[in-house]
């Protein structure tokens, strides 16, 4: 009997030069994804993915379509090679759009149109900063954030694992929160190289700007549950996806809770689909006794398929 599998898709920060190139060179279905991205967005997303500089790839207007194109290309290959419909899907921030594509919520063309608008809207906001906080003391983190709010907007952007959150907000407020957290004994606080305060109230304008694309694309009910960032709940209805998509830009990403909720539904295997293996590490830190794989290149594709067959997951 097939065990329940969830596909998960990483977000911004997972990119690297050359991502997806081996899939493009070896699989027609992957090449077609990049070709459609190039055509829809009227620029060579494939060239940026395969030979763009680190600086090119760090620009939000490039990062977002490049990561999504790579994730969907890998997903199409994995679907072809494994022949398996997942029980559920989820994506971390940007990765939620790849998850929605995999679940049939968006067509490939509309996924790229939505992502391009999202990237343009988010990249227009240059204020603020973000930092990762490595600690499981949620009470202390909340206390420090509350104190720091005297200087401006600061909140939790991502609940990544039980021992890692990312804070976001205005520069002074984030700096103060980092100072307070450090003074209270949290030793690992890592400023992130991002262009703005993603998933904070500073992004409400970008969210409003993004809404303009929603009446120009088709949003469908999903074929399988999509666990959404804004509430960590399984979603299937088009009307709710349309409401959540703009809200996701300024809301917290409840990734820890998403993983926990997926496991509660009996999922025993996660496959991270896309560049890197960040989500695989976060999942292992959040839940135990589940199988976790990542598919980012041809080697990890082969290894994942081989192990799944050996363990008789399918």
Out of 46, 98, 155, 199, the active site residue is: 199
Asked if 105 and 219 count as a contact pair (C-beta separation under 8 A), the reply is yes
Q: What topology does CATH give the domain 129-194?
A: Alpha-Beta Plaits (3.30.70)
- How do the pLDDT tens digits run along the chain, 314 residues long? 467 999 999 999 899 999 999 999 999 999 999 999 999 999 999 999 999 999 999 999 999 999 999 999 999 999 999 988 899 999 999 999 999 999 999 999 999 999 999 999 999 998 899 999 999 999 999 999 999 999 999 999 999 999 999 999 999 999 999 999 999 999 999 999 888 899 999 999 999 999 999 999 999 999 999 999 999 999 999 999 999 999 999 999 999 999 999 999 999 999 999 999 999 999 999 998 899 999 999 999 999 999 988 777 65
All CATH 3.40.366.10 domain ranges of the chain, comma separated, are 5-124+203-310
CA dihedral 293, 282, 107, 242 (to 10 degrees): 150
Q: Show the tokens assigned to 133.
A: 């906080």
Domain 5-124+203-310: CATH architecture, name and number where available: 3-Layer(aba) Sandwich (3.40)
Return the pLDDT at 2: 61
**pLDDT for the residue numbered 312:** 72
Residues 6+ apart with CB under 8 A from 310: none
Catalytic residue among 46, 92, 93, 98: 93
For residue 126, indicate whether it is catalytic: no
Whole-number pLDDT of residue 33: 98
- Tell me, yes or no, if 207 is annotated catalytic: no
Check residue 314 and give its pLDDT. 59
Q: Which residues contact residue 145 at a Cβ distance below 8 angstroms, ignoring those fewer than 6 apart?
A: 154, 155, 156, 167, 177
Residues of the chain with CATH 3.30.70.250: 129-194
Q: Between β-strands 129-134 and 88-91, what pairing exists: parallel, antiparallel or unpaired?
A: unpaired
Indicate the pTM of the whole model: 0.96
Q: Are 272 and 293 in contact (CB under 8 A)?
A: yes
CA dihedral of 238, 249, 101, 230, whole degrees rounded to 10: -60
Helix (H) or strand (E) holding 157: strand 154-161
């Amino acid at each position: 009997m097939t065990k329940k599998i969830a596909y998960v898709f990483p977000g911004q920060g997972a990119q690297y030069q050359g991502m997806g190139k081996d899939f493009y060179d070896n699989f027609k279905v992957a090449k077609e994804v990049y070709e459609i991205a190039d055509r829809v967005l009227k620029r060579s997303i494939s060239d940026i993915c395969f030979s763009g500089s680190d600086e090119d790839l760090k620009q939000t207007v490039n990062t977002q379509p490049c990561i999504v194109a790579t994730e969907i290309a890998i997903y199409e290959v994995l679907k072809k090679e494994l022949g398996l419909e997942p029980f559920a899907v989820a994506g971390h921030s940007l990765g939620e759009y790849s998850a929605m594509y995999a679940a049939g919520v968006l067509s490939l063309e509309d996924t790229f149109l939505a992502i391009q608008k999202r990237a343009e809207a988010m990249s227009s906001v240059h204020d603020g900063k973000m930092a990762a906080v490595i600690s499981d003391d949620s009470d202390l983190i909340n206390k420090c954030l509350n104190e720091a709010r005297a200087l401006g907007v600061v909140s939790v952007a991502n609940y990544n694992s039980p021992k890692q959150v990312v804070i976001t907000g205005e520069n002074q407020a984030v700096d103060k929160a980092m100072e307070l957290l450090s003074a209270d004994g949290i030793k690992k606080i890592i400023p992130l190289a991002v262009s703005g305060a993603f998933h904070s109230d500073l992004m409400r304008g970008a969210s409003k700007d993004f809404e303009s694309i929603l009446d120009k694309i088709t949003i469908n009910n999903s074929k399988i549950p999509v666990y959404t960032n804004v509430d960590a709940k399984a979603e299937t209805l088009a009307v709710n996806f349309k409401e959540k998509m703009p809200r996701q830009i300024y809301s917290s990403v409840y990734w820890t809770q998403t993983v926990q909720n997926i496991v509660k539904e009996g999922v025993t295997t996660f496959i991270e689909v896309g560049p890197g293996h960040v989500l695989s590490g976060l999942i292992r830190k959040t839940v135990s006794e589940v199988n976790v794989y990542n598919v980012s290149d041809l080697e990890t594709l082969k290894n994942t398929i081989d192990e799944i067959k050996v363990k008789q997951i399918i």
